Amino acid sequence: MRTYCQTQNVISFILFSWSDLLNEFKINHDMPASKQQIEKELNKPSKANTGASNDMQLFLESSTSLKAKGKLQLTYLNEQFEGSFIATPNLIKLKTIQPFKGMVAAVGLEEGSLSPFLQSNGGLSKVGQQQIYFLVFDIFHLYNLFRLKPQALLALYQEALAILKKKGEVVEFGKIDPSSDLGNTLAIWLHTQVKQKFKHSYCSPKGLLYSFQNLLKLYADYFKV
């Protein structure tokens, strides 16, 4: 990953290769990303083809010790991905711009952790860089579900609303606030179901609900039979 930082019209960058992480380490998707540790592959590097280009470019548009904002770019399955991110010492939020906007992934720092996501100079720490990768994996997984199984996503969301209605909740399709108590309940249910049905545990249930509703609203034609 190349990280670029704009400071008084001077651009500097560090090289952090996408393939270094994918080929030399394995990632455990069965636990929350905030609790994951990148584990060395003891036998031999994985040869799995992820479809991602070797380098991800990360552009820091502004940064302080308390907040960093920027964009990232990479190629996946011959598609040019672009996203925006906001990072604080204890939170990173990533949102897609293209090819499909509105997909959201986020991760918070585990309580009591001594390894914040930002360095004192405003740059991403090693832990912060690793978490960016976890969030990108979340985006890739949701992108593939949306591209290949849009009806499955729609059915899951409809099932969730039906369950809430049976409990007497007043819900409106695509307009449930993820920050509300009801939204939190729906987000956790969707997160559990996606993990069981599609074998991927997203970093943020709330981000998953945001993504579901954004995709349903912005790309309604994709969900039509």
Q: Can you give the pLDDT at residue 132?
A: 93
The mean pLDDT value of the chain amounts to 80
Which residue is associated with the tokens 């945001």? 210
CA distances from 42 to 7, 45, 46, 189 (A): 41, 8, 10, 36
- For the chain, the distance separating the N- and C-terminal CA atoms, rounded to the nearest angstrom, is 39
- What is the model's pLDDT at position 210? 96
Q: What is the Cα–Cα distance from 181 to 178, expressed in whole angstroms? A: 8
- pTM over cut 0.95: no
Helix ranges, the chain (H): 18-24, 126-148, 150-166, 181-198, 205-218
Assess whether pLDDT exceeds 80 at residue 82. Answer: yes
**pLDDT, tens digit (0-9, with 9 covering 90-100), for 31-65:** 343 343 333 222 233 333 445 555 789 899 999 99
CA-CA-CA-CA torsion sign (170, 102, 135, 91) = negative
- Using the predicted structure, report yes or no on whether residue 6 has a pLDDT greater than 50: no
| CA distances, 18 to each of 2, 44, 82, 134 (Å) | 9, 18, 15, 12
pLDDT tens-digit series, residues 153-183: 999 999 999 999 999 999 999 999 999 999 9
Confidence of residue 3 (pLDDT cuts 50, 70, 90): low
Q: Which of 181, 202, 118, 190 is nearest to 154 (CA)?
A: 190
Nearest in space to 211 (alpha carbons), one of 55, 132, 105, 137: 105
